[in-house]
Structure formats: structure tokens, C-alpha cells
Amino acid sequence: MTSYMIRKFKDKLAFILSFLCVLVAIIPLGSILMEVVKNGAPALSIQFLTSPPGAVGEAEGGIASSIQGTLILIGLTSLIGVPLGLMSGVYLAEFGDNVLGRSIRFFNDVLMQFPSIVVGIFVYMLMVLALGSFSTIAGAVALSIIMLPIVARTTEESIKLVPNSTREAAMALGIRRWRTIISIVLNSARSGIVTGTLLSIARIAGETAPLIMTILGSQWFFAGLKAPMDALPLRVWRLALLPYDYAHQQGWGAALILIIIVLTLNVGVRFATRGRYTGR
Amino acid sequence: MSNTQPTNLKESAEGYKIETENLNAWFGKSHVLKEISLKTKENAITAIIGPSGCGKSTFIRCLNRMHELVPNARVSGKVLLDGKNIYAEGVDPVAVRRKVGMVFQKPNPFPTMSVYDNVASGLKLTGLRDRKKLDVVVKKSLELAFLWDEVKDDLDKSGASLSGGQQQRLCIARTLAVEPEVVLMDEPCSALDPQATAKIEQLMTKLEENYTVVIVTHNMQQAARVSDFTAFMYLGEVVEYGSTRQIFENPKNELTERYITGKFG
């Protein structure tokens, strides 16, 4: 064999091996998705989606309260976590090249690795014990503690990717620093920031442990910020633990709905914030 | 051999637009500009030439207070714009930059904005919202930059979708839109092909009717073609400064003569 043929062979081999690696990575993802769809689809019905869970043991309940709870949690958490995370990221990227910035970055990374149950316990002590009841707002606070470091980090990295020549062009026009950051730098970093935020939302939408300690769960619809509330991950967990078949099937259905919500959010936000030209 | 005749020398009574007095600049401990005292004439093109690293870019970045944006950068001395020191206490650097615009070596249109928005950005982002006024300014600036005919049918297309030469003219239009009095150009053609370069040189000659232009270039022929006055810098100092014709035809300093004839640089 000529050396050219050997090279071609090695090239093909490398390509096939990397393709196989991709398959190996996708197979678990695909099989989970298939399981959820297979087991959850039969549970879906209008009644399932619009009625609250019934009494335990009754097969007529639904997950409407859980859907509402998860959506409310995503909204409240984003309201707290996204602005704070965004501003932290901007500070770290634009003004953080000093000791203070390095310390903040370090603590941010530590916070990102915190076990979520620990966050749950912390908020339990801070808010549930202090306010005297499990509450929606405690759940939102716990989830935003998990969300904040992710948004801050990805915002910082996206902003750092904006080339300095863009900033210089703006400053040379006589545009003030804060205006440059808001209208030009953030705009250019937009797609990276959106990706980071969506990833953090997907993460917090599925967190169960902190919810056990903060919103507790309930059989009814949203009852105010200071009252316990239901959410999809909690519902999945509770249903999975019940000894009834109908409950297990409902659990699969709830899991499927959770995945659909996160996917829809992802596609929807990307569509809404796509740049005019990059199409991303 | 290109034509080294300088364009019409303006020996009129017009004054000096920008003067530096004992200007020094540092990057940290590195002393890059040493006691520069230079006067540039109003409504003329002054070229700064010299080998790489001699401090020409640093010099013009001191003229619009961009040098101080680099961490650990420092300036001492005075820079007088129309007789007033722009480094005096209490002077707003942002106000200085609106009067002294800059075009960079690598064209840098704002990537997320259309051609129209790019040109209007200097005005929009400092408060002007009136669409009609913006339309007028955008058209005028693009015409001045010799770009209007090429983009007038689609002002909404992305700034980054233009060719290199067009992008640089877009950046020039953007700079002109805020109506500065001085236009600084840091090697504006070095990333462009000869045709694009020629267009921009044509543009510069038109610009000097109404603006004071200071251009840094490592292309001596360009300096000879386009400028009225030339300053030769070496290792942070101005070695010689005079009318372009005199510098190129009759350099007084031996170093200047060696640089001009290509013996180093």
C-alpha cells in the first residue's frame, strides 16, 4: 500500500470512530426520550392537562396545578435570577480585571457546583422557618440561587467574545461607556447570553430537591406567593412513589410535559431573539 | 514611480487645529512618546510616517484621548484643540472624541447593525431620535464617504456583508456622521486592496476641504500622494516635520533620508 492509501484509510477510520462516539453519546439521550414518550403519551388527555390531582388513590386527577406551578416558578426565578446574573456577568467581563473580580469569579464557580439540596436547606432555614410556611417565593429564591451563577458565567464568557475593536469603534464615536456596553456589546453578545439563560432555565425547571424543602407541593392550584405550590418535578416524584399503576403512568405523562415545556421555551426564545443577520 | 507632487499646499492664514506641547506617553513603565511638540494645520492632511513601533499610532490615539483607555497607560503634556487643552482638569473625554473622530486600521462596522444603523449609531446612541434628521445625516455622510451610490438601494443590509473597502468607507461615514472637526486615520488602507485604497485616498482629498485630517501610514507613497505635511517619527520622537514636498524631495535629517529611500523600516 502506498503511503497515500494508508493515510486515506487512517482518515476514514478516524471519521468512523468519531461518528460512533457521537452515536454512543446520543443513544442514551434518544432512549430516554423514547421511553418518556412511549410511557407518557398514553397518559395525555385534555382532562389530564386541565384538572388538578385528585385524592390519592383516585385515577381521575391531572397535572394542571403542576404545570401552572412549574411555569410560575420558571417566570419568578427568571425575574430574580436573569437580571442579577446578567449584571454580574457584565461587571465581571467589563470591569472585573482586578482582585475583587477574581474573588467574585471564584465564589461564582463554587456556587455553581453547590448540591441543590444544600441550597434547598439553606432557603428552608432562611425563608420557610422565618415566614412560618412553605411558599412559592421560597422556591423561586432557591431556584434563582442555582440559576444566577450559570447566567453570570455564560454572560461573562459571551461578552468577552465581543472583539475589542467593536468597543473601540463605539468609544471613538463619543458614545459613553455604559451606553457602549448596553447597546453595542450586549447586542453583539446576545446569542451567547440567550443560550446560557435557556440552559439555566432547563436546569432549574427540573430541580426537585430544593422544591421539596421550599414549596412542599400541593394538590391545588397556585394559592399565593406565601403558600405551598405544586410543580412538575415534585409531582413526578410523588407519583412515582405511589403504589398504583395509574399513578406511574401519570408520572410518565408529567415527565413528558416537563420536557415539552422546556423544549418549547428553548425554541420560542431562540426564535424571538434571533439576530437579523446571524439567524442564530 | 508614483507621483510625489503633493496636492495644493495651503499656505493660507488658517491656524493650527491641533497642537501638542511636550506630549509624553507611557504604557506602564515603557516610555513610548518623548516630548512631542507638533502643530497640525487646519483643513490640511498631515501624515505621520515611520517604522513599526515608532509610536505613530500611540501619538494619534493621544489626540482623541483613546490612549488612556488601555490599562496602565499614561499621558503627560498638553494637547490643544483650537487652543484648549483636552487633557485639562474637568474636560470630558467623551466630548473630545465627538470632535476628534477616528478610523481604524481594520474596518470595524458594528456587526449586529445594518448599514443605516451603523452610520446613525453615533447620533442615535447619544440621543438623536428624529428619523427625518437621521435620514438626512446618513445620506450626507454616505455621500461624503463615496459609498452612497453603492448602498442606497439597500440601507437595511448588514454592515458586515459589505466588502473590505466598502466596510472601511462605512466606518468613515459613521465617523463623519457625528460631525467632528478632526478626522484621525490609523493606517486606514493597510487592510485593503489597491482599488479600495485609491477610492479612500480620493475621499481624503475631498475631506480636507472641511476637516483637518491626520493620517498614520507606513506606505510612504501614500503619504507623498495625499498629504500636505509629513512628520517622520522614530523611536517615540519626531525626527523631522515639514511640508510633504520638502520632506520627500529635500529631507534635512539624515535619518529621514535613509527611511525615505528605504534603507530601513
SS (H, E, C) chain B: CCCCCCCCCCCCCCCEEEEEEEEEEEECCEEEEEEEEEEEECCCEEEEECCCCCCHHHHHHHHCCCHHHCCCEEEEEEEEECCEECCCCCCCHHHHHHHEEEECCCCCCCCCCEHHHHHHHHHHCCCCCCHHHHHHHHHHHHHHCCCHHHHCCCCCCEHHHCCHHHHHHHHHHHHHHCCCCEEEEECCCCCCCHHHHHHHHHHHHHHCCCCEEEEECCCHHHHHHHCCEEEEEECCEEEEEEEHHHHHHCCCCHHHHHHHCCCCC
For testing the chain A interface, which of B112, B124, B175, B182 should be mutated: the one with the most A CBs within 10 Å? B112
Please tell me whether residue A44 adopts helix, strand or coil conformation: coil
Contact criterion met (CB < 8 Å) for B114 and A168: no
**How many whole angstroms separate alpha carbon B23 and alpha carbon B82?**
16
Give Cα A1 to chain centroid, integer Å: 53
Q: What spatial distance separates the first Cα and last Cα of chain A, rounded to whole Å? A: 46
Contact criterion met (CB < 8 Å) for A188 and B102: no
**How many whole angstroms separate alpha carbon B27 and alpha carbon B34?**
12
B7 falls within a domain: no
Per CB-CB distance under 8 Å, the chain A contacts of B114 are 276
Amino acid A61: pLDDT? 79
Contact criterion met (CB < 8 Å) for A172 and B112: no
Q: Which residue of A has its CA nearest to B62?
A: A172
**How many whole angstroms separate alpha carbon A174 and alpha carbon A27?**
54
B195 falls within a domain: yes
Amino acid A278: pLDDT? 56
Please tell me whether residue A280 adopts helix, strand or coil conformation: coil
DSSP string, A148-167: HHHHHHHHHHHHHTS-HHHH
Instruction: Provide the β-strand partners of residue B241.
Output: B231
Look at residue B6 and tell me whether its pLDDT is greater than 60. Answer: no
For testing the chain B interface, which of A173, A175, A280 should be mutated: the one with the most B CBs within 10 Å? A173
Please tell me whether residue A2 adopts helix, strand or coil conformation: coil
Q: Which of B94, B110, B171 shows the shortest C-beta gap to A174?
A: B94
Contact criterion met (CB < 8 Å) for A173 and B122: yes
Amino acid A81: pLDDT? 96
β-strands B73-81, B182-186 pairing: unpaired
Contact criterion met (CB < 8 Å) for B111 and A176: no
Kindly tell me the number of DSSP H helices and DSSP E strands found in chain A.
14, 0
Amino acid A25: pLDDT? 93
Instruction: Provide the β-strand partners of residue B84.
Output: B81
Q: Which residue of A has its CA nearest to B104?
A: A169
Look at residue B1 and tell me whether its pLDDT is greater than 60. Answer: no
Digit-coded pLDDT (tens) for B35-81: 999 999 999 999 999 998 899 999 999 999 999 999 899 999 999 99
Per CB-CB distance under 8 Å, the chain B contacts of A178 are none
Amino acid B11: pLDDT? 42
B41 falls within a domain: yes
Report angle CA A208, A211, A215 to the nearest 5 degrees.
Answer: 150
Question: Are B114 and B159 within 8 A, CB to CB?
Answer: yes
Contact criterion met (CB < 8 Å) for B171 and A169: yes
Q: Which of A165, A174, A275 shows the shortest C-beta gap to B98?
A: A174
Contact criterion met (CB < 8 Å) for A168 and B104: yes
pLDDT above 70 coverage of chain B, percent: 94
**How many whole angstroms separate alpha carbon B227 and alpha carbon B243?**
9
Look at residue B150 and tell me whether its pLDDT is greater than 60. Answer: yes
Digit-coded pLDDT (tens) for B222-247: 999 999 999 999 999 999 999 999 99
**How many whole angstroms separate alpha carbon B54 and alpha carbon A125?**
64
B11 falls within a domain: no
Amino acid A6: pLDDT? 95
Domain coverage including residue B135: 16-260
Phi, psi values for residue B192, rounded to 5°: -120, 160
Question: Are A86 and A182 within 8 A, CB to CB?
Answer: no
Please tell me whether residue A134 adopts helix, strand or coil conformation: coil
Contact criterion met (CB < 8 Å) for B175 and A187: no
- DSSP annotation of A128 reads I
Digit-coded pLDDT (tens) for B162-190: 999 999 999 999 999 999 999 999 999 99
ipTM given for this complex: 0.87
B9 falls within a domain: no
Domains in chain B, number = 1
Please say whether the dihedral angle defined by the alpha carbons of residues A189, A192, A195 and A201, taken in this order, is positive or negative: negative
Amino acid A276: pLDDT? 66
Contact criterion met (CB < 8 Å) for A166 and B110: yes
Per CB-CB distance under 8 Å, the chain B contacts of A180 are 125
B233 falls within a domain: yes
Q: Which residue of A has its CA nearest to B99?
A: A174
- DSSP annotation of A43 reads G
Count other C-beta atoms under 10 Å from residue A129's C-beta: 11
CATH code (residue B100): 3.40.50.300
A205 is written with which cell numbers?
A: 425547571
CATH number belonging to domain A60-272: 1.10.3720.10
10-residue mean pLDDT profile of chain A (280 residues): values are 91 97 94 93 88 75 89 95 96 93 95 94 93 92 96 96 95 94 93 92 92 90 89 92 89 93 87 67
Digit-coded pLDDT (tens) for B80-127: 999 999 999 999 999 999 999 999 999 999 999 999 999 999 999 988
B241 falls within a domain: yes
A247 is written with which cell numbers?
A: 399513578
Q: Which of A175, A276, A277 shows the shortest C-beta gap to B125?
A: A175
Query: What is the nearest CA distance from A90 to chain B, expressed in angstroms?
Result: 18
Contact criterion met (CB < 8 Å) for A188 and B112: yes
